[in-house]
């Protein structure tokens, strides 16, 4: 079934002339017309904060129906045709080095609808390996969610654990100089998502 859907899912990559819409900052989605099952996706090059942004279309079970990498500097203006997909709920996601932007979509007999006009914007926390065996944490916690910081040694033993405050902006520096030399995994968990970075204590 998955292969059949993937083969029949036609994603028309058409350049469009909606320049006024294309000037929107940040990834921007526009449903084509009432009753249709197409949408336009616009990504301005200034919003791509990593070498590549990942564009993906998933069902609610997390199965990826389509994915594409966008090279930094590209201006992305494409039309997605979802007429081959069955009725149901889907998720379009654009992820780069600093942000995950999500649009819940629903296909019905009446056409394609945005489930939530206010798309979901999640800013990824940054784990920065600093000098002198220090690690910095920087995060824009837009929804002021609970976050958990954990540090594991190379044998996956937990050496440090902390529940972070639900502040809008979280900036902290951790001194790892008292730990034994070797590699450690710094893990930050928030909203069911986990972000990790390996650091070396010298």
String of DSSP letters for 71-97: ETT--EEEEEE-TTSPSEEEEEEEE-S
pTM for this model (two decimals): 0.69
Domains, the chain, ranges and CATH? 2-122 (2.60.40.3080), 125-201 (2.60.40.2550)
Written in H, E and C, the secondary structure of 121-134 is: EEECCEEEEECCCE
Order of strands, sheet of 147-153, starting from the edge strand that comes earlier in the sequence: 158-164, 147-153, 182-190, 193-201
The predicted structure's pLDDT at residue 2: 47
Q: What is the pLDDT of residues 82-99, one digit of tens each?
A: 999 999 999 999 988 888
Q: What is the pLDDT of residues 16-35, one digit of tens each?
A: 333 333 344 567 788 877 77
Q: What is the pLDDT of residues 26-76, one digit of tens each?
A: 677 888 777 789 999 988 765 556 567 889 999 988 899 999 988 766 678
């Amino acid at each position: 079934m998955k292969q059949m859907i993937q083969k029949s899912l036609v994603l028309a990559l058409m350049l469009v002339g909606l320049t006024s819409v294309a000037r929107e900052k940040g990834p921007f989605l526009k449903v084509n017309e009432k009753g249709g099952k197409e949408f336009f996706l616009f990504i301005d090059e200034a919003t791509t904060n990593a070498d590549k942004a990942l564009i993906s279309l998933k069902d609610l079970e997390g199965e990826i129906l389509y994915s594409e990498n966008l090279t930094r500097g590209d201006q992305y203006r494409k039309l997605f045709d979802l007429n081959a997909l069955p009725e149901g709920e889907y998720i379009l996601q654009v992820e780069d080095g600093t942000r995950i932007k999500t649009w819940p979509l629903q296909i019905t007999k009446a056409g394609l609808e945005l489930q939530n006009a206010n798309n979901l914007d999640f800013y990824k926390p940054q784990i920065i390996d600093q000098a002198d065996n220090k690690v910095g944490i920087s995060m824009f916690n837009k929804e002021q969610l609970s976050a958990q910081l954990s540090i594991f040694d190379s044998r996956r033993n937990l050496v440090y654990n902390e529940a972070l405050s639900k502040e809008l902006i979280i900036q902290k520096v951790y001194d790892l100089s008292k730990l034994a030399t070797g590699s450690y995994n710094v893990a930050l968990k928030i909203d069911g998502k986990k972000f990790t970075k390996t650091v070396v204590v010298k």
